[in-house]
Structures are given as structure tokens and as C-alpha cells.
Amino acid sequence: MSRYTGPRLKIMRALGVDLPGLSRKTIADRPNPPGQHGARQQRKSGFGLQLQEKQKLRFNYGLSERQMRRLVLDARRDRGATGDKLAELLERRLDNVVFRAGFAGSLRANW
């Protein structure tokens, strides 16, 4: 089982949003995506937008692809809205509860 241990600010810049669970830093100083040609914006397809939203969830909560897939399958199995159930399952995780209670500065501080 592996976890992403690379630069967290680079991930936030690539996604274009501040993720509070990922880092205390902000992308306000360098709002462009990382890389040599990061200042250029490209229009994303529908699949690209869905992938970006999934990656935001994955990196914010520190999940692997397999963990994310299992949570989505559990959310789809239950009755009701899948998105609401997925959010509930993600917020129930112990590391997230500790972060929301204010005992840790970020979700990464729990690891």
C-alpha cells in the first residue's frame, strides 16, 4: 500500500484549488499550474472534469485508487444519493474526524 509523498503544493496548483486537508499553504503566491508551460490553460473534456474532481477527493483525504474505488462501491450499494453517501463515508474516517476536531493542522499531520 503506497501513499503519495511528493510535493503537496504542486498537487494543489495542478488541481487549481486550495485543499485544506492537504496542506496549510495556499496557492495564492503561484496560482498557475506547475511546469514549464503551466500558465497556458486548456479546455477540459467532460471526462477530464470528472477525473479532476475525483483526484481532488483522493488527494484531500489521502486515499489510494483502490480505497477510493471501494468507498464508491459501498456508497453505490446503499440506497439514496451516491454522492451524499460517499461524502458521509469519507467524513467518518478516523483521520478526518481528528482533523475536523482541531487536533491536527492537516490530514497529513495524522499520518
Q: CA-CA distance, 85 to 72, in Å (whole number)?
A: 9
> 33: domain range?
8-110
Counted domains in the chain: 1
Write down the mean pLDDT value for the chain: 85
Tally of CB atoms within 10 A around 58: 16
| Closest CA relative to residue 22, chosen from 93, 96, 101, 82 | 96
Is residue 1 scored above 80 in pLDDT?
no
Write out pLDDT tens, residues 78-93: 988 999 999 999 989 8
Write out pLDDT tens, residues 10-63: 888 888 888 877 777 888 888 888 888 777 777 889 999 999 999 998 888 888
Q: Supply the CATH number for residue 26's domain.
A: 1.10.1050.10
Residue 85 lies in a domain: yes
CA distances from 92 to 13, 27, 106 (A): 27, 28, 16
DSSP structural state of residue 33: P
* Residue 89 confidence (pLDDT): 92
Residue 78 lies in a domain: yes
* Residue 47 confidence (pLDDT): 95
Phi, psi of 106 (to 5 degrees): -150, 170
Residue 36 lies in a domain: yes
pTM assigned to the model: 0.79
